[in-house]
A and B are shown apart, each in its own frame.
Chain A
Amino acid sequence: MKKIHIILLVFVAGSIALLISLLNTGSTYETIAEAKAMPGKFVHVAVRLDKTKPVEFDAKKDPNYLSFYAVGVENPDQAMKVVYRNGEIPNLMISERLVLKGKYENETFECKDVQTKCPSKYKEGMKPTEKSIDQSSITNPAATTSEATKY
């Protein structure tokens, strides 16, 4: 067997493996309407928390059940109920964006995993000493994604 044959074989095997893993289990970024249009398909959806509706979580009843309502980031008229069965989500209430990963099934979005994007912490660290001036204006809504970098 020539070396070049083995090399080719290895590369072919590798690229097939890569293709299979991409095709078989691939997912896509979708909007709420698109997620609803394809129930049962695992998708990523960028949403905002609907703060007008209740967030349900009671660790004493079931520490794994959390549900809330979400609206689309670009299409606020699209809405859905989200169920997350893995406990409390930190920073949910202050998040400005959520990336939900899961499937739309039986009128709810079964969320397997969630990423919260929070407003920049830059402005919130400010604690001015004067109380007389409106402090709320210190917090700047101009926001980037979370400042936490690993390096």
Chain B
Amino acid sequence: MEYIGEHLLPGQLGHLFIVLSLVASLIATFSYFKSAQSKNDIDAAYWKKLARIAFITEVISVFAIFSILFYIISNHLFEYKYAWQHSSRSLEVKYLLACFWEGQEGSFLLWSIWHCVLGLILIKTSKKWEAPVMTVVSLMQFALATMIAGIYFFGWKMGTNPFILLRDSGVLDNAPALHINGDVAMGLRQDYMLSIKDGNDLNPLLQNYWMVIHPPVLFMGFASTIVPFAFVIAGLWKKNFGEWTKPALPWALFSAAVFGVGIMMGAMWAYESLTFGGYWAWDPVENASLVPWLILISGIHTLLIYKHSGHSLRATNLFLILTFGFVLYSTFLTRSGILGETSVHAFTDLGMNMQLLVFLLMFVLPALVLLIIRYKEIPTIHKEENTSSREFWMFIGSLVFFLSALVIIGKTSIPVVNKILGTKIAPPEKAEFSYNQIMVFISIIIAVLTAVTQYLKYKNTSTKVFLKKILIPFVIAAIIATLVLVVGKVNYEKETFGFMVAIWMAVACSIFTIVANAAYIWLGLKGKLKLSGGSISHVGFGMVLLGILISSSNKEVLSNNIGGIPAPLDKNEDPRENLTLVKGLTVDMGKYSLTYEGDSSHPKKQLSYYKVHFKSKDGKEEFVLTPNSFVNYKGNEGLMSNPDARHYWNHDVFTYITSISNPDKTKDTTTFRPKDLKPGDTLFYSSGFIIYKNLNKKEDLPVDLFGKDGSLYEANLKVHSKTGSLYSIAPKLAMAKGNEMAVPDTVLAESIVLQLEKVNPDKSITLGIKESNAVMDYITLKAYKFPYIRLLWFGVVITAIGIIISMVRRIRLNRENVSQS
């Protein structure tokens, strides 16, 4: 049966390219494998040529799949489930890419497309390593291709296909309106597409510019970890144990920079668009991407140790295998749905758990087995490192980094443990603190090691020279740290005193890291920036640590609800963080006074913007923040809020809406109470009194509106509220063309409405008064102050720049080595 309004060609092409990519990547894997195993050069060259053709076919297929899917989304072809599920017509063009990678299929594609790019570069540059390295990359491409294949393999469904039609996906099966005769047992109506007017839209929380850029960068980070891994495998496989470290080092550095920036872009998105009041929550999704990065950093440091001293090659092998292994483990954790209730992000179980597990094991197990088999053959130096050598302390640092990664992933994996052992361990009450109390000690150790290790020399260092060199940075750092701690008052008293002392130490140590590494650029490297990539990235890392410590421990709740609308507090209770603002009524909030000025709506969406006027009491600052909220959005109930922040060089003021007045909930059922008043009379209401001042009669009324005998009276009243506020109010009564018309006036903040009902010649009046909740227009918000958060973002940039400088230098060194030999 043919349906009206469907576009089937893109989907058919998509299916074709998926099959092609599946076959091509398999051929590429096999051919590269044969080439790597060939005993003679002619065979090797023959297989390599074949493999390259296959891999390039694979690249073309993946790009084609990507383009077709993007075509489907951007043309709103809602007959395809992917477009219907993730996009909508009202979605801005800039977010079309974000909905591309909202779904699992799209994000697998993104991952795959980066492997294509990296693969092409590897073919061009890796020379004799090409065959074994590309065997691994091609196999990975095959594994990723199966994830979007959506084909049945001996009754086992492999992957989910992004080109599946909406009518085949089961979504429409229970919608009688779309079926012939309204009977779900019958087929779909031929014109069912007429009813599919719009898609499900992109999750509003993902409608943020960071969501356009963060996933591609993060997935580039994920994807690039395969390169060092593939070099390790190639080295173990071809028994060429040390040589691969040269080409692998720049790749590992590249990966560390991109991966790190990708993770922090996610933190940036969380800060700007989520409302847990921060940028990092030790959520399983965050942890799962942080852990491989930590291990990668360990791997880079042991790689450097090996290059300079010959030590730690075995550890390097292990770290780089585990980096990639944990990328796959993260994928398993976050996509299988196993995390279930522990994560704020609700993950869909696409029924691919088995496949994800196979995906994980098919890479990690053979790699580890290969490492164990070859372990004894990997060259090592039997003499212990000298404790005054750089490599010794670098290794300890790497080990601590690695250990912190294991602690994090151990805690994150509790749901997996629960599943296997049937236990019911849940995250602790203070989930974040349970990480922080460990990580603060790790950051102290790491910060000290990062500060001093560069001042040590490889092999051994004379104590006298070391002390002499480190003395100046140490003194400077000690002075700055004292100033920061005394003046800055980094006092985090929510937990134990011991924890606060640990934070002080960590702050001091990260300042030491910044100063010592900045100083080393001049003291050790004579200001040669080209050589100082390592020092620069360490300075950045110190800034990241310091930014995290200060912004988290000195985070202030501004919206403490102590004045205004009462919220009784027990002694041991946290101050309540929600503050209600009635429209037009200025409320005290710490050093600011706040006024909610009103809202405006997005022209196309159920998105409202709330204008909140901030004015500091010293009169120095005055600004408007406009947090927004999706209200009752697409089957949701309540608010999905996006915060707004005012940025200063040394802190951010951050606010978001937690609830709003709901006009549907509070229907206005009260009526006007009439009251006769003479000028000067007083009228009491529930929270104050009203004085009737006088009555004005307006002259010169337009005849066309009021008619010949028209009149307009205006009563002037003063409203004195209990809180001491004073309002002027002027209800009107019009006589136009024989009709009486009252124009009531309202004091929103006091929720009263006054209506002029009768005017007498002696200026006495009948005034209608109504007290109603329905007139109250209010919002509830939370507000925070984040000090020195810019230090964190700036630190991330510096770290990345430092790593890139190192990478460029290593690539240059490798080229020089090649041309020399």
Contacts of B333-350 to chain A: CB distance below 8 A = 334-335, 337, 340-341, 344-349
A18 touches B407 (CB 8 A): yes
Q: How far is the CA of A135 from the CA of B430 in the complex (A)?
A: 45
With a cutoff of 8 Å between Cβ atoms, the chain A residues found around residue B396 in the complex are: 6-7, 10
A125 touches B634 (CB 8 A): yes
How many chain A residues touch B (CB < 8 A): the figure is 72
A3 touches B392 (CB 8 A): yes
Q: How far is the CA of A65 from the CA of B558 in the complex (A)?
A: 18
With a cutoff of 8 Å between Cβ atoms, the chain A residues found around residue B579 in the complex are: 63
If A10-B396, A94-B636, A121-B200 touch, whether A21 touches B437 (CB-CB below 8 Å) is: yes
If A138-B175, A149-B346 touch, whether A59 touches B778 (CB-CB below 8 Å) is: yes
Q: How far is the CA of A14 from the CA of B401 in the complex (A)?
A: 11
Q: How far is the CA of A7 from the CA of B402 in the complex (A)?
A: 12
Q: How far is the CA of A129 from the CA of B348 in the complex (A)?
A: 30
Partner among A7, A22, A93, A115 whose Cβ is within 8 Å of the Cβ of B637: A93
Q: How far is the CA of A144 from the CA of B337 in the complex (A)?
A: 11
A3 touches B385 (CB 8 A): yes
With a cutoff of 8 Å between Cβ atoms, the chain B residues found around residue A63 in the complex are: 561, 565, 567, 576, 578-580, 658-659, 780
Closest chain-B Cβ to A133's Cβ sits at a distance in Å of 5
Which residue of chain B has its CB nearest to the CB of A130?
B177
Residues 147-180 of chain B, each 1 if its beta carbon lies under 8 Å from chain A, else 0: 0000000000000000000000001101111100
Q: How far is the CA of A2 from the CA of B400 in the complex (A)?
A: 17
The answer, yes or no, to whether A126 is at the interface (CB within 8 Å) is yes
A25 touches B171 (CB 8 A): no
If A21-B438, A27-B426, A149-B346 touch, whether A128 touches B175 (CB-CB below 8 Å) is: yes
Q: How far is the CA of A149 from the CA of B335 in the complex (A)?
A: 9
If A28-B426, A59-B659, A138-B175 touch, whether A150 touches B199 (CB-CB below 8 Å) is: no
B346 touches A145 (CB 8 A): yes
If A123-B174, A151-B107 touch, whether A88 touches B659 (CB-CB below 8 Å) is: yes
With a cutoff of 8 Å between Cβ atoms, the chain A residues found around residue B437 in the complex are: 21
Partner among B174, B577, B637 whose Cβ is within 8 Å of the Cβ of A86: B577
Interface centre among B337, B346, B434 (most CB of A within 10 A): B346
A127 touches B203 (CB 8 A): no
Which residue of chain B has its CB nearest to the CB of A120?
B348
Closest chain-A Cβ to B206's Cβ sits at a distance in Å of 8
Q: Which of B96-104, B473-481, B673-681, B813-821 lines the interface with chain A?
A: B96-104
Q: How far is the CA of A14 from the CA of B340 in the complex (A)?
A: 27
The answer, yes or no, to whether A53 is at the interface (CB within 8 Å) is no
Contacts of A26-68 to chain B: CB distance below 8 A = 26-30, 42-44, 46, 57, 59-65
Closest chain-A Cβ to B373's Cβ sits at a distance in Å of 23
If A135-B177, A138-B177, A145-B346 touch, whether A127 touches B341 (CB-CB below 8 Å) is: no
A85 touches B392 (CB 8 A): no
Closest chain-A Cβ to B285's Cβ sits at a distance in Å of 6
A122 touches B200 (CB 8 A): yes
Q: How far is the CA of A115 from the CA of B431 in the complex (A)?
A: 14
Interface centre among B340, B400, B437, B638 (most CB of A within 10 A): B638
Q: How far is the CA of A138 from the CA of B178 in the complex (A)?
A: 9
Interface size on B, as a range, is 35 or more
The answer, yes or no, to whether B635 is at the interface (CB within 8 Å) is yes
Which residue of chain A has its CB nearest to the CB of B406?
A14
Q: How far is the CA of A7 from the CA of B344 in the complex (A)?
A: 36
Contacts of A102-151 to chain B: CB distance below 8 A = 112, 115, 117-118, 121-130, 133-135, 137-138, 140, 142, 144-151
Q: How far is the CA of A7 from the CA of B399 in the complex (A)?
A: 8
With a cutoff of 8 Å between Cβ atoms, the chain B residues found around residue A79 in the complex are: none
If A21-B434, A151-B104 touch, whether A3 touches B384 (CB-CB below 8 Å) is: yes
The answer, yes or no, to whether B424 is at the interface (CB within 8 Å) is yes
If A62-B566, A87-B658, A117-B346 touch, whether A14 touches B85 (CB-CB below 8 Å) is: no
B634 touches A28 (CB 8 A): no
Partner among A59, A64, A115, A151 whose Cβ is within 8 Å of the Cβ of B334: A151
Q: How far is the CA of A137 from the CA of B178 in the complex (A)?
A: 11
Residues 760-782 of chain B, each 1 if its beta carbon lies under 8 Å from chain A, else 0: 00000000000001001010101
If A14-B403, A63-B659, A91-B636 touch, whether A134 touches B176 (CB-CB below 8 Å) is: yes
Q: How far is the CA of A93 from the CA of B639 in the complex (A)?
A: 12
Q: How far is the CA of A84 from the CA of B702 in the complex (A)?
A: 58
B177 touches A44 (CB 8 A): no
With a cutoff of 8 Å between Cβ atoms, the chain A residues found around residue B201 in the complex are: 125
With a cutoff of 8 Å between Cβ atoms, the chain B residues found around residue A59 in the complex are: 578, 580, 659, 661, 778, 780
Closest chain-A Cβ to B665's Cβ sits at a distance in Å of 10
With a cutoff of 8 Å between Cβ atoms, the chain B residues found around residue A151 in the complex are: 101-102, 104, 107, 215, 334-335
Q: How far is the CA of A18 from the CA of B435 in the complex (A)?
A: 9
A90 touches B639 (CB 8 A): yes
Q: How far is the CA of A33 from the CA of B573 in the complex (A)?
A: 26
A27 touches B348 (CB 8 A): no
The answer, yes or no, to whether B90 is at the interface (CB within 8 Å) is no
With a cutoff of 8 Å between Cβ atoms, the chain B residues found around residue A7 in the complex are: 396, 399
Partner among B205, B334, B438 whose Cβ is within 8 Å of the Cβ of A17: B438
Q: How far is the CA of A126 from the CA of B200 in the complex (A)?
A: 8
Q: How far is the CA of A127 from the CA of B172 in the complex (A)?
A: 11
With a cutoff of 8 Å between Cβ atoms, the chain B residues found around residue A92 in the complex are: 637-638
Contacts of B282-337 to chain A: CB distance below 8 A = 285, 334-335, 337
Which residue of chain A has its CB nearest to the CB of B177?
A128
A121 touches B348 (CB 8 A): no
Closest chain-B Cβ to A18's Cβ sits at a distance in Å of 5
Closest chain-A Cβ to B217's Cβ sits at a distance in Å of 13
The answer, yes or no, to whether B410 is at the interface (CB within 8 Å) is yes
Closest chain-B Cβ to A136's Cβ sits at a distance in Å of 10
Which residue of chain B has its CB nearest to the CB of A137?
B176
With a cutoff of 8 Å between Cβ atoms, the chain A residues found around residue B566 in the complex are: 62
If A11-B403, A87-B578, A151-B101 touch, whether A27 touches B567 (CB-CB below 8 Å) is: no
The answer, yes or no, to whether B640 is at the interface (CB within 8 Å) is yes
Which residue of chain A has its CB nearest to the CB of B661?
A59
If A125-B199, A151-B215 touch, whether A60 touches B580 (CB-CB below 8 Å) is: yes
A124 touches B635 (CB 8 A): yes
Closest chain-A Cβ to B754's Cβ sits at a distance in Å of 20
The answer, yes or no, to whether B194 is at the interface (CB within 8 Å) is yes
Partner among B101, B104, B203 whose Cβ is within 8 Å of the Cβ of A148: B203
Contacts of B92-114 to chain A: CB distance below 8 A = 101-104, 107
With a cutoff of 8 Å between Cβ atoms, the chain A residues found around residue B427 in the complex are: 27, 44
B438 touches A150 (CB 8 A): no
A144 touches B438 (CB 8 A): no
The answer, yes or no, to whether B488 is at the interface (CB within 8 Å) is no
With a cutoff of 8 Å between Cβ atoms, the chain B residues found around residue A28 in the complex are: 424-426
Contacts of A67-107 to chain B: CB distance below 8 A = 85-94, 99, 101
The answer, yes or no, to whether B720 is at the interface (CB within 8 Å) is no
The answer, yes or no, to whether B197 is at the interface (CB within 8 Å) is yes
If A122-B171, A129-B195 touch, whether A42 touches B428 (CB-CB below 8 Å) is: yes
Q: What 15 new A-B contacts, CB under 8 Å, besides A129-B177, A151-B101?
A: A11-B403, A21-B437, A21-B438, A25-B434, A29-B341, A59-B780, A61-B565, A87-B577, A87-B578, A91-B638, A94-B636, A138-B175, A147-B346, A147-B348, A150-B334
Could you list 10 A-B pairs, sorted by A, with CB under 8 Å?
A27-B429, A44-B426, A86-B577, A87-B578, A87-B659, A115-B341, A123-B171, A128-B175, A150-B334, A151-B107
A-B complex: 8 closest residue pairs judged by Cβ atoms = A25-B428, A128-B177, A90-B638, A124-B635, A64-B576, A88-B659, A63-B578, A146-B346
